[in-house]
Amino acid sequence: MFEALKSQVEKILSQEENVDTRLQLVCDLLREGVNYYDWVGFYFRNGDKEELKLGPYAGEPTDHTIIPFGKGICGQVAVSNENFVVPDVAAQDNYIACSITVKSEIVIPLLKNGENIGQIDIDSNTPDPFSEEDERFLEFVNEKVAQIL
């Protein structure tokens, strides 16, 4: 599944559309292509502020358009620069609930020239669906995205 999606991601990102359009198409592809990716979105550092701002996403609308560094899973990844896989969001103290249906989350930092400029965030309504394969795939997506930013 992920191998087929990789070539589709590369194809989308190589198009001439503007960056936000391409990122939206990637979000749509991942949400449709992986049955347990229920919400897929990009957050980016908001200028010089110590916060993340929501970029293109696919899924239910969210109130969390700005996330301070250190707050929630996304905010923690903005500080740690490390992948964060949450098999059960209910077991996390520092979790910002987007929806009562979300059971698990994976956040992968988006690095450009070694600097954390954002992240891809995926919520799942399935408990503990994410594997190392998801991590490697999403790292690949972020590497490709970084090339167009």
For 49-60, the pLDDT digits (tens) are 999 999 999 999
> According to DSSP H, which parts of the chain are helical?
2-13, 19-33, 72-80, 132-148
Q: Which two tokens stand for residue 45?
A: 């550092």
Percent of the chain exceeding pLDDT 70 equals 96
If you search the block for the tokens 């995205």, which residue do you land on?
145
Contacts of 65 (CB under 8 A, 6+ apart): 53, 54
Q: DSSP string covering 52-78, please?
A: EEEEEEESS--S-SEEETTSHHHHHHH
For 62-107, the pLDDT digits (tens) are 988 999 999 999 999 999 999 999 999 888 776 666 678 999 999 9
Angle made by CA atoms 47, 52, 141, in degrees to the nearest 5: 100
For 19-44, the pLDDT digits (tens) are 999 999 999 999 999 999 999 999 99
Mean pLDDT of 109-136: 96
If you search the block for the tokens 């609308």, which residue do you land on?
61
pTM for the model:
0.95
| Domains of the chain with CATH codes | 2-148 (3.30.450.40)
